């Protein structure tokens, strides 16, 4: 039950901080499971503490190996406290379905979530920062940064990149149908799953697009009707192949 698998390079170390307490049969500490959830998303929530007050901040993030990155401006609340490094918990969650059971107690949701713990710090090294500012574009849109108007020194200065090596993590997944008590299956009420998908819609080109500019091949993975999950996984794979 509480086997320490911290010597397994395929798993994150387990302690009281990341152990899945509730419905622990849904939990995993497997690196590949955590990365799969992270790579299917771009919006995370980061918890941190300032003067005893918890904050839960939504932000875009990306992953390089076992390090998570996100960014902000020098005006943001968190950044002023990051010089020394600050304990943080970055969580990514995907809602996959509504589960309607025959009792209120067994109503549930299908989901995938990953909680990642570490110390968030400002990326000060100029090379790491420059690489991160390319990655925030190219991780989502393969090879795009080279086609953009180049970043300026002022923009680099105005952007703060935050990095957090994942010290510990856990994944939690529910992906199944209705799970009622055996004696409840005869209760005469509709039960089932309503699947939820997050999809990409039809592109809305900028009205000021130059007339000769077509949508580039690099964006083919974001075709209308595709799930965002799949597009982001494909983009991550393309990014890793190019790195």
Q: Of residues 174-203, which lie at the interface with a second copy (CB under 8 A)?
A: 177-178, 180, 184-203
CA distances, 89 to each of 23, 45, 54, 118, 119 (Å): 20, 8, 11, 7, 8
- The distance from CA 183 to its chain's CA centroid, rounded to whole angstroms, is 39
CB 111 within 8 A of CB 136: no
- Which of the residues 88 through 147 are near a second copy (CB under 8 A)? 88-91, 93, 95, 98, 100-105, 107, 109, 111, 113, 115, 117, 133-134, 136-137, 140-141, 144-145, 147
> Whose Cβ is closer to a second copy: residue 67's or residue 91's?
91
Alpha-carbon gap, residue 210 to 54, rounded angstroms: 46
Torsion of CA 95, 174, 231, 122, to 10 degrees: 80
Note whether 21 binds a second copy by CB under 8 A. Answer: yes
Q: Which x/- pattern, by CB under 8 A, does the window 45-84 give for a second copy?
A: xxxxx--xxxxxxx-x-----------xx-xxx-------
* Closest distance of CB 117 from a second copy, Å: 8
CA distances, 43 to each of 4, 17, 39 (Å): 31, 23, 11
* Closest distance of CB 66 from a second copy, Å: 18
- Which of the residues 203 through 232 are near a second copy (CB under 8 A)? 203-210, 212-216, 219, 222, 228
The count of chain residues that interact with a second copy, using the rule CB under 8 A, is 98
Alpha-carbon gap, residue 26 to 109, rounded angstroms: 12
Of 6-14, 27-35, 61-69, 154-162, the segment contacting a second copy by CB under 8 A is: 154-162
Note whether 165 binds a second copy by CB under 8 A. Answer: no
* Closest distance of CB 27 from a second copy, Å: 12
> Whose Cβ is closer to a second copy: residue 5's or residue 105's?
105
Q: What are phi and psi of 49, to 5 degrees?
A: -125, 130
CA distances, 26 to each of 20, 38, 122, 237 (Å): 8, 17, 34, 26
């Amino acid at each position: 039950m509480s086997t320490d698998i911290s010597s397994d390079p395929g798993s994150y170390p387990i302690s009281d901080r990341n152990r899945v307490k509730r419905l622990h049969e849904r939990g995993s500490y497997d690196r590949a499971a955590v990365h799969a959830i992270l790579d299917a998303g771009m919006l995370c929530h980061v918890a941190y503490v300032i003067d005893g007050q918890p904050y839960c901040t939504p932000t875009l993030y990306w992953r390089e190996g076992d390090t998570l990155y996100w960014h902000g401006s020098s005006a943001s609340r968190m950044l002023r406290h990051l010089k020394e490094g600050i304990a943080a918990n970055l969580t990514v969650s995907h809602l996959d379905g509504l589960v309607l059971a025959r009792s209120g107690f067994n109503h549930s949701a299908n989901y995938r979530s990953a909680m990642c713990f570490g110390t968030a710090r400002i990326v000060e090294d100029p090379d790491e920062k420059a690489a991160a500012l390319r990655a925030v574009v190219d991780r989502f849109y393969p090879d795009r940064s080279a086609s953009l108007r180049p970043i300026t020194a002022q923009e680099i200065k105005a952007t703060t990149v935050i990095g957090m090596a994942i010290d510990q993590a856990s994944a939690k997944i529910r992906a199944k149908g209705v799970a009622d008590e055996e004696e409840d299956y005869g209760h005469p009420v509709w039960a089932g799953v309503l699947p939820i998908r997050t999809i990409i819609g039809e592109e809305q080109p900028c009205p000021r697009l130059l007339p000769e500019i077509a949508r580039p091949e690099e964006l083919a993975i974001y075709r209308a009707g595709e799930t965002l999950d799949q597009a982001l996984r494909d983009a991550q794979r393309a990014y890793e192949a190019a790195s």
